[in-house]
Amino acid sequence: MFHLSLVNLFVLVNSEVCTKTDPYGRCSTNSACGCFPMAGAQNAGVCAFLWKFCSQLIPCESSQDCSQPDHICVHHHRCNHRPVCYPLLMANEAICPPISPITSTTTTQILETTTTSIKLNNWEQNGQTVAGGNQKGDNLNQLYAAQGIFIDQNNDLFVADTQNNRIMKWKPNATEGTIVAGGNETGKGIAKLNRPTDIIVVSQDNSLIIADWGNWQVVQWFNQTYQEVLIQNIICHSVKIDKYGFLYASDLNNHEVRRWKMGDVKGKKGTVVAGGNGIGSDSKHLNKPTFIFVDDEQSVYVSDWGNHRVMKWGKDARYGILVAGGYGKGSRLSQLDSPSGLFVDHAGHTYIADYNNHRVIRWSQGKREGELIVGGNGIGNQSNQLNIASGVTFDVEGNLYVTDYFNHRVQKFGLISQ
Ligand SMILES: *[C@@H]1O[C@H](CO)[C@@H](O)[C@H](O)[C@H]1NC(C)=O
Ligand SMILES: *[C@@H]1O[C@H](CO)[C@@H](O)[C@H](O)[C@H]1NC(C)=O
Ligand SMILES: *[C@@H]1O[C@H](CO)[C@@H](O)[C@H](O)[C@H]1NC(C)=O
Ligand SMILES: *[C@@H]1O[C@H](CO)[C@@H](O)[C@H](O)[C@H]1NC(C)=O
């Protein structure tokens, strides 16, 4: 038995209530959905899409309510179980079809887990351009060889516009972006970026942390008049922050990834969390790490560019585990060619911007080959094609975004509801 407020009941029309002894357990034929415990309700949850984007979710108000319309206050296992406002759109029957007939608002039926084959998610094969796409150039509606991308809790897209030496922000449906860091002058001064390759937004203060590749530094950008250099003498391709407030940076030259406690970065060497044993191709080594991803267990995933593989280094691990590629450079489904942007979902699927194969490929744990997700239709500028895949991320609704490097655009591939 449990209690739901009228507000919750109202909000749950067209959504599924689930009850599960195991919170976050399977509640849908879509394996990407799970049962989120509802704040303030005992043994009741809402079956919702499980993407973990703590940085994009707003904490609930003290009354366990959400002031935003169409949001419900749930506990999210990926966000320290603290109550966060979750978009009801993600708890839709269309996205998370129930395993058994929809359990109405008062049932205490325990859902059975199914052993039938898990249906994988699908994304539209024709992308929609959400940034750039107007040839290369430095106008506000253009990009020039962009790489890392980041989506914040407002669904604003931040793009490391590498050859324009700037960071752009594109609001949803915008026809042009705004410059939020740098400009078109290359330079060494603190206010100048030199071929930035990756970007994250710090949700606490909306500052940007930028892999300022060509200046050999990582900078924190508070606004156009105030910036700080966090890390010097590092050819850094990618930066990430984990949920415990650690900053991670890949170091291309030293074949390693290091991490720092946020707020205690400047002047500190950091701790090696992947590689750090020089160049090589065995499990202790990396060869030019580019993009990284950090999961909630603080495992670090590394695009091991020169080895055409992706490695996972668990917390405190002394060697990495192969998660993708590792069968030489090539275009078969078992191979990668210069892996670039990375994203790992809650189920441990790794999405890889497979740079020279012009595709995004997904590897599941323990598999010997990946599955093609989008692209892979040869080089070109059609909507189902990419010309060098450099960055990859998702929004809170599970739509896929890919930086299409030589088409100077970012493509959005909509999640197809099942
Ligand atoms: C963007 O455009 C689509 C299609 O026209 C529309 O459904 C959506 O609401 C728009 N989003 C925003 C944030 O304006
Ligand atoms: C880029 O440089 C051109 C030429 O120097 C200048 O006119 C333009 O304002 C600059 N754009 C930005 C965004 O700084
Ligand atoms: C820029 O950021 C700094 C640090 O947060 C702040 O002290 C300053 O007021 C900001 N300046 C502007 C113009 O917003
Ligand atoms: C796409 O490619 C064709 C053929 O190379 C070219 O003519 C066209 O201008 C390109 N379109 C864009 C938007 O870049």
35: which strand partners? 47
Q: What are phi and psi of 285, to 5 degrees?
A: -115, 160
Q: Give nearest CA residue, ligand 4 atom 8.
A: 381
SS (H, E, C) the chain: CCCCCHHHHHHCCCECEECCCCCCCCCECECCEEEEEECCCCCCEEEEECCCCHHHCEECCCCCCCCCCCEEEEECHHHCCCEEEEEHHHHECCCCCECCCCCCCCCCCCCCCCCCCCECCEECCCCEEEEECCCECCCCCCECCCCCEEECCCCCEEEEEHHHCEEEEECCCCCCCEEEEECCCCCCCCCCCCCCCEEEECCCCCCEEEEEHHHCEEEEEEECCEEEEEEECCCCCCEEECCCCEEEEEECCCCEEEEEECCCCCCCCCEEEEECCCECCCCCCECCEEEEEECCCCCEEEEEHHHCEEEEECCCCCCCEEEEECCCECCCCCCECCEEEEEECCCCCEEEEEHHHCEEEEECCCCCCCEEEEECCCECCCCCCECCEEEEEECCCCCEEEEEHHHCEEEEECEECC
Cβ-proximal residues to 122 (8 Å cutoff; 6+ apart), any chain: 415, 416, 418
Which residues have CB under 6 Å of ligand 1?
A: 172-173
Q: In the prediction, which pLDDT does 160 show?
A: 98
Query: pLDDT under 70 in the chain at which residues?
Result: 1-17, 19-22, 40-43, 52-53, 63, 69, 81, 100-121, 184-190, 418
Report the distance separating Cα 132 and Cα 408, nearest Å: 6
Nearest CA owner, ligand 1 atom 2 = 173
Tokens standing for residue 404: 């299409």
How much distance in Å is there from the Cα of 223 to the middle of ligand 3? Answer: 6
* Total of domains in the chain: 1
Ligand 2 centroid–CA 183 distance in Å is: 7
Residue 189 corresponds to which tokens in the numbers above?
């001064």
Please report, for residues 39, 44, 152, the alpha-carbon distance to residue 8 in angstroms, rounded to integers and kept in the order given.
10, 11, 26
pLDDT at 223: 87
Query: Is 48 a member of any domain?
Result: no
**What residues are paired with 199 via a beta bridge?**
210
Task: Give the tens place of pLDDT for each residue, 208-244.
Answer: 999 999 999 999 999 888 999 999 999 999 999 999 9
Q: How far is the CA of 406 from the centre of ligand 1 (A)?
A: 27
Domain that holds residue 363: 128-142+232-413
Q: What is the pTM of this model?
A: 0.74
What CATH number should be reported for the domain holding residue 409?
A: 2.120.10.30
Q: Which of 184, 186, 224 to mutate to test the pocket of ligand 2 (most atoms within 8 A of CB)?
A: 184
Protein residues with CB under 6 Å of any ligand 2 atom = 138, 179, 183-184
Classify strands 33-37 and 45-49 as parallel, antiparallel or unpaired: antiparallel
Ligand 3 mean position, distance from CA 207 (Å): 10
Closest ligand (CA of 187): 2
Check residue 329 and give its pLDDT: 93
Q: Is residue 397 part of a domain?
A: yes
In angstroms, the CA 37 to CA 241 distance is: 26
* Atom of ligand 1 minimally distant from the CA of 155: 13
pLDDT at 11: 39
In a domain, 36, yes or no: no
Q: Is the CB of 108 under 6 A from ligand 3?
A: no
User: For tokens 């593989």, what's the residue?
Assistant: 309
Q: Residue 171's pLDDT is what? A: 97
Q: Is residue 238, in this structure, part of any structural domain at all?
A: yes
Q: Whose CA is nearest to atom 13 of ligand 1?
A: 172
133 within 8 A of 409, measured Cβ to Cβ: yes
Q: Is 277 in the pocket of ligand 4 (CB under 6 A)?
A: no
- Determine, yes or no, domain membership for 302: yes
Which two three-digit tokens encode residue 75? 């506990």
CA of 86 to the centre of ligand 4 (A): 40
Ligand nearest to the CA of 395: 1
Query: 172: CA distance to ligand 1 center in Å?
Result: 7
Would you state the pLDDT for residue 285? 97
Does residue 156 lie within any of the structural domains? Answer: no
**308 residue type, one letter:** H
Q: What per-residue confidence (pLDDT) applies to 3?
A: 36
Would the CA dihedral through 235, 237, 136, 153 be positive or negative? negative
Q: Is the CB of 134 under 6 A from ligand 4?
A: no
| Substitution site in 173, 395, 396 for ligand 1 pocket (most atoms within 8 Å of beta carbon) | 173
Ligand 4 pocket test, pick from 135, 381, 382 with the greatest ligand atom count within 8 Å of Cβ, gives 381
Structural domain includes residue 63: no
Does some domain include residue 308? yes
| Cα 149 to middle of ligand 4, angstroms | 24
Q: Tell me, what's the pLDDT at 286? A: 97
382 in ligand 3 pocket by Cβ < 6 Å? no
List, in sequence order, every residue forming a beta bridge with 15; answer none if it has no partner: 92
Q: Which ligand is nearest to the CA of 208?
A: 3
> Between β-strands 271-275 and 289-294, what pairing exists: parallel, antiparallel or unpaired?
unpaired
Q: Tell me the torsion sign for CA atoms 167, 172, 178, 184.
A: positive
What is the rounded CA–CA span in Å between residue 31 and residue 24? 11
For residue 58, the one-letter residue type is I
